[in-house]
Structure 1
């Protein structure tokens, strides 16, 4: 015999089953969203995998969000184009893959920003996209910000002579985008930008000497340690930003309860993202330390790097974009949020 009960409000789509009634926590229409991402499933994607789980569970499978890996839906540099065309509902993108598409978002690549603390990083990355300049960049692609992937600080892995002195970087070919690339240029290195999926082969063949990636998860995800000889442990030249965005039309078409579900899921998504980075470090660091030479710079060396390649890069970036937006205002906003989080 089937028993029936009454659910109240938005929670309450009833599914009859022998022995009782199961209710989806959030009722709504059948819907499938596609998410475009490059590479394989890895720490970087676990936040949105968590979102997929939450949405499916809360709607009893009525709304599914599926990640399509390996560039199945779009090349990594063309995800914003795909969002604009409505080819898929959600996508990851990295700001330094195409600075011209998202000039204001390049602020995250400025070297030596105060983003080393995970909670500071989380606050900055979730609040700065409210700024009109960052919103305007996404508006051009009919996109809206959803969450950050909370990229950790970058470090370098490389092949050949280890750069134990700052002068050793001169002439090295490094995969380093945005402000980090500019900073390395100040040290005499030759920066280049390429998709993460091309780095392994480039280092193996000697096309480049070193790569800056979010440490440690990205180096391990792309197996860079397998073709490297050394790693920097405390250079921390900066970071980047690879957010997840939503097609604005797809979002507008959602029923209100689905929009609220997306909002409510942000906390668990970000918590999961930080958790997997910590787990990756616990696994990867012992492997790196066993196989590779570890480079630890002195406080004096780090201070010299900052002097040569920190604020000068900010100033150049602000000047280069002065006719588009107020870059100094964005940098100041980052420091203000950081100070607020730290209670200063």
Structure 2
């Protein structure tokens, strides 16, 4: 891990104390109050946007505030883009695989085995792709604009019942896995579903879902999945998805320029806070998982075979299914180019 990431703890502590960074200037401006819609409770996933809300309020002397509404208080997770379009709130968090038809280009980040496991690479690539015309076009239809990625970690599975000790054991299992990850699991014979995060606990408890993939380990713990699980995978790392924060174009357009600049200036430290939150929660969760659940580790040979049959073939399948909707092949090429660029610069 690079020095930047290793040194985050001090920055996070300073942020918690609500102290202005050295040399930071108070930003003058009018009273503006935004509402942001999300789901679930405060957790590692929300640390980045929470930090932004804190800093914006502090730097403007309370004149610009972003109030975060948790637990789907303003909108269902699948309907946050609809709420933005209707002007029901000013900002929202979203996950691409909750509504693939609403953000088809964003689904590129669900492709399995993309080489973006490193935090620095992931941040650079995602920030670049948020400016990609295809990503912007997806959001234009909802009067939304991309702002900040939640930089989800790689996914792993927690499950109930017979553990999949071999990849062939996934055959017939009902799994919560969206997008390209879901397609990859179908290659193994699993049946995929896209149950919202807030409904996974009940689905597993009732036996309608055998296993659930979440960003590892924070989301499993946040949604209390270990309480209804018997086992977990610890080295499958088949991919991730893309969740993040978008702004209403109308609300953003009304902001004074100094507030827009402030939202841009705070991004670097917010991404640092976001990454550190995942690192910290893993240190707490992983020992608990190992103590309570059966750990499943696949051999390098098994993982290589999985990647062979469910990596590039799934990418090609996704391109074929979407090429008539937009330049899916061009988008994939652009993403791979950004990954290569970020890896060389790391």
Does TM, scored on the shorter chain, surpass 0.5? yes
Tell me the CA shift for residue 110 of structure 1: 0.5
Could you tell me how far apart the structure 2 residues matched to 1:254 and 1:79 are? 21
**TM-score, normalised via structure 2 length:** 0.91
Q: Which residue in the other structure is 2:7 paired with?
A: none
CA distance in 2, matches of 1:147, 1:45: 11
Q: Deviations over 1:66-104 (max 9, x none)?
A: 100011111100000000111111000110001000001
- Whole-angstrom distance in 2 between the partners of 1:245 and 1:53: 18
Q: Distance in 1 between matches of 2:241 and 2:36?
A: 21
1:24 shift after superposition? 7.2
Partner of 2:107: 106
* C-alpha deviation, 1:334, in angstroms: 2.2
Counterpart CA distance in 1 for 2:341 and 2:126 is: 14
Cα deviation, residue 332, structure 1: 2.0
Contact 2:130–2:147 (8 Å) recurs in 1: no
Residue pair 2:161, 2:230 contacting (<8 A) in 1 also: yes
| Separation in structure 2 between the aligned mates of residue 144 and residue 49 of structure 1, nearest angstrom | 19
Q: Secondary structure at the match of 2:157?
A: strand
CA deviation vs aligned residue, 1:233-255 (integer Å, no higher than 9, x gap): 11011100011000001111000
Partner of 1:161: 162
**CA deviation profile, 1:194-224 (whole Å, cap 9, x unmatched):** 1100001111111110000000000000010
Matched residues in 1 for 2:339 and 2:133: separation?
Answer: 19
Instruction: Give 1:335 shift.
Output: 2.0
What SS does the aligned partner of 1:130 have? coil
The offset of 1:310, in angstroms, is 1.1
Q: Please say if 1:192 is aligned against 2:193.
A: yes
Distance 1:70 1:58 in 2: 27
Aligned partner of residue 39 in structure 1, secondary structure? coil
Residue 9 of structure 1 aligns with which residue?
none
Residue 143 (str. 1) matches residue 139 (str. 2): no
Question: What does residue 10 of structure 1 align with?
Answer: none
1:268 deviates by 1.2
- Give deviations 1:95-123, integer Å, cap 9, x for gaps: 00010000010000010001111111111
- CA distance 1:268–1:24, change in 2 (3 Å): closer
Aligned to 2:259: 258
Distance 2:288 2:193 in 1: 27
Report if the CA contact (8 A) 2:111-2:181 is conserved.
yes
On the 8 A contact 2:125/2:342 being kept in 1, the answer is no
1:235–1:296: 8 Å Cα contact kept in structure 2? Answer: yes
Q: Please identify, of 200-209 and 334-343, the stretch whose mean Cα deviation from structure 2 is larger.
A: 334-343
Alignment partner of 1:130 is 2:131: yes
Distance 1:25 1:146 in 2: 22
- Unpaired runs of 5+ in structure 1? 1-22
Matches within 5 A, 1:270-289: 270-289=271-290
Residue of structure 1 in register with 2:51 after alignment: 50
Distance between the aligned counterparts of 1:278 and 1:233, measured in 2? 15
Aligned residues: 322
Q: Distance in 1 between matches of 2:152 and 2:105?
A: 18
Alpha-carbon distance in 1 for matches of 2:141, 2:249: 11
Structure-to-structure mapping, 1:295-310, within 5 angstroms: 295-310=296-311
Q: Which whole-Å CA distance do the structure 2 matches of 1:330 and 1:226 have between them?
A: 40
- Is contact 2:36-2:92 (8 Å) kept? yes
Contact 1:24 1:60 in 2 (8 A): no
When Rg is computed on C-alpha atoms for both structures, the one with the higher figure is 1
1:48–1:269 Cα contact (<8 Å) kept: yes
Rounded Cα–Cα distance in structure 1 between residues aligned with 2:326 and 2:291: 46
More deviation in 320-329 or 250-259? 320-329
RMSD between aligned alpha carbons?
Answer: 1.2
* Aligned pairs for 1:173-252 within 5 A: 173-252=174-253
Q: Is the 8 A contact 1:95 1:240 kept in 2?
A: yes
What's 1:121 paired with? 122
